Amino acid sequence: MRIEAQLQTGEEILYRAQVTRLTLAPILAMAGIALVAAAVAWFHFQSAPGGLILLVVAAIFGLVYLWKDFVRRANDYVLTNHRLIQETGILSRRSIDSRLDKINNVEYRQTLWGRLLNYGDVEIDTASDAGVAVFRNISHPLQFRNTILAAAEQYRSAGRFPAPAPAAPSGAERMRQLKTLFDDGLISREEYEAKRRELLSEL
């Protein structure tokens, strides 16, 4: 099921994070090296068995790359104006939602290569049952972090939380209010006595 089909009324996608493809570069490089070595063994050294073995190795690396890239694209990391959605899995899917009002802290980490190539991990600490959610190898992690914090702040400041209902006055407070009305001449003695008996019966 696509993320768009899960959105609630009035919910909009603000940011869709992508897992970088750069972490798969070593696998693709090994496939290329094996392919070149197969060509050298086949044409230069006239070694058909060696060339076939290296060709199989290159094919294996190529299949591993295709599979990991398929898994990478199967993960959906979406920020909406209500929540943060982390959906993973291929055959079976797992979805974790973090409401914006439950997000306490957002951090990002980058290795040296991550800083050079602009990817890293984003860790989100929430007050929900999900606890800590980690988004690994995200492209533009700082932008993702800042967008989450801005959306959470806007969500909190938009007054989406219902104001608590004022506490009902106690019986003693209602009696004092009734006495004030009588002393100020706003109600008659008969009305005062009738209302007082009513309040006493409720205590």
Note the pLDDT of residue 163. Answer: 47
What is the phi-psi region of residue 159: left when phi exceeds 0, alpha when psi lies from -120 to 50, beta otherwise? left
Whether residues 117 and 190 share a domain: the answer is no
Are residues 139 and 118 in contact, defined by beta-carbon separation less than 8 angstroms?
Answer: yes
> Which structural domain range is residue 191 located in?
171-202
Q: Is residue 137 part of a domain?
A: yes
The pLDDT tens digits for 30-56 are: 999 999 999 999 888 888 888 899 999
Q: Is residue 99 part of a domain?
A: yes
Instruction: State the Cα–Cα distance between residues 134 and 124, nearest whole angstrom.
Output: 6
Instruction: State the Cα–Cα distance between residues 14 and 81, nearest whole angstrom.
Output: 6
pTM for the predicted model, two decimal places: 0.65
Q: Is residue 162 part of a domain?
A: no
Whether residues 175 and 114 share a domain: the answer is no
159 has pLDDT over 70: no
Whether residues 193 and 94 share a domain: the answer is no
Q: Is residue 151 part of a domain?
A: yes
The pLDDT tens digits for 109-118 are: 999 999 999 9
Question: What average pLDDT score do residues 174-193 get?
Answer: 77
Whether residues 139 and 186 share a domain: the answer is no
Within 8 A by CB and 6+ apart from 89, the residues are 74
Whether residues 47 and 130 share a domain: the answer is yes
Within 8 A by CB and 6+ apart from 33, the residues are none
Note the pLDDT of residue 200. Answer: 74
What is the identity of the amino acid at 150? A
**Count of domains observed in the chain:** 2
